[in-house]
């Protein structure tokens, strides 16, 4: 897959906040027709601390349908909270979608948020420390099962007796893993250096938003320090939907100069997000 005129691969990320799966499927198909390089889905259960949020669909069946109806666009989640998904089940889901798509899956992972509505309501751990431990162990289990070799694991939270999972992913040596996390926390960056990419987020007064070029450069420097090089490592700019044609093209040079490889436009979760995302996709990348 080649980069466009901006020097960045371009993606779209949307919440699965609808009662009609066709809404998400239609957006994904339109994103491919519009020349986007990636289409990513949020992964939530409720998204409301009162336990009465919007309708929410599960991303994995939607990705499976899109995998079978598209041919070029990369597909994935941004982000899947590994701490609330059994890693052996996630291993089967990811391999299935990767093979359906002929190797186009990207798995975005994180500790999950909001902590109460996606964890606490169901008496799952809400502690950031515990969720980070579950994420790290879950990734070790997940990638061990992806190998197709006999695998066993014994950790603080997960135990797996010797087992072999087959088939293996279409992508080798593995499905790419991007780690999401809010800056300036150091833990997500350290975790990301062990995998294939990072989606750094920055907290603004109105929530999480686009990192600056300096933020991306700081992550790049830590990746280079930990790995010796940032080559082959994806640095993903998470941003709001482009409002005017050419807006991203104007911003892109400062980001490509510091090593960014993807620009992912995300819809917001407020009512009206679907119309906004549909209008954005209709303009193409």
pLDDT of residue 16: 96
Q: Determine the pLDDT at residue 208.
A: 75
pTM of the predicted structure, to 2 decimals: 0.96
Q: What is the DSSP letter of 240?
A: E
Q: Which two tokens stand for residue 194?
A: 């062990």
Answer positive or negative: Cα dihedral of 200, 238, 63, 176: negative
Per-residue pLDDT in tens (0 to 9) along the chain, 285 residues:
556 656 899 999 999 999 999 999 999 999 999 999 999 999 999 988 898 889 999 999 999 999 999 999 999 999 999 999 999 999 999 999 999 999 999 999 999 989 999 999 999 999 999 999 999 999 999 999 999 999 999 999 999 999 999 999 999 999 999 999 999 889 999 999 999 999 999 987 767 789 999 999 999 999 999 999 999 999 999 999 999 999 999 999 999 999 999 999 999 888 999 999 999 999 999
Half-sphere exposure of 185 (CA within 13 A, CB side): 19
**Token pair recorded at residue 166:** 């087959």
Residues 178, 188: Cα–Cα separation, whole Å: 10
What backbone phi and psi angles, to 5 degrees, belong to 62? -65, -40
Distance CA 68, CA 63 (A): 9
CATH 3.20.19.10, domain 9-282, yes or no:
no
Which pair of structure tokens corresponds to residue 170? Answer: 């279409």
pLDDT value at position 269? Answer: 87
């Amino acid at each position: 897959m080649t980069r466009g005129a901006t020097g960045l691969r371009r993606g779209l990320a949307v919440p699965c906040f609808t009662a009609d799966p066709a809404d998400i499927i239609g957006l994904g198909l339109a994103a491919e027709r519009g020349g986007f390089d990636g289409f990513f889905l949020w992964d939530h259960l409720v998204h409301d601390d009162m336990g009465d949020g919007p309708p929410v669909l599960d991303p994995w069946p939607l990705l499976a349908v899109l995998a079978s109806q598209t041919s070029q666009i990369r597909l994935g989640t941004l982000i899947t909270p590994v701490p609330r998904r059994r890693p052996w089940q996630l291993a089967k889901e990811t391999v299935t979608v990767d093979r359906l798509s002929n190797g186009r899956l990207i798995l975005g992972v994180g500790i999950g948020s909001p902590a109460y509505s996606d964890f606490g309501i169901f008496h799952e751990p809400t502690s950031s420390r515990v969720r980070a431990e579950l994420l790290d162990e879950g990734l070790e289990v997940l990638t061990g099962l992806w190998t197709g070799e006999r695998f066993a694991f014994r950790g603080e939270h997960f135990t797996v007796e010797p087992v072999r999972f087959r088939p293996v992913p279409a992508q080798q040596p593995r499905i790419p893993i991007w780690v999401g996390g809010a800056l300036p926390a150091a833990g997500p960056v350290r975790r990301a250096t062990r995998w294939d990419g990072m989606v750094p987020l920055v907290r603004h007064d109105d929530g999480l938003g686009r990192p600056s070029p300096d933020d991306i450069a700081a992550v790049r420097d830590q990746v280079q320090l930990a790995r010796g090089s940032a080559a082959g490592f994806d640095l993903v700019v998470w941003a709001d939907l482009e409002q005017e044609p050419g807006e991203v093209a104007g911003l892109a040079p400062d980001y490509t100069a510091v090593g960014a490889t993807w620009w992912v436009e995300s819809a917001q979760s407020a009512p009206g997000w679907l119309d906004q995302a549909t209008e954005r996709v209709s303009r193409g990348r």
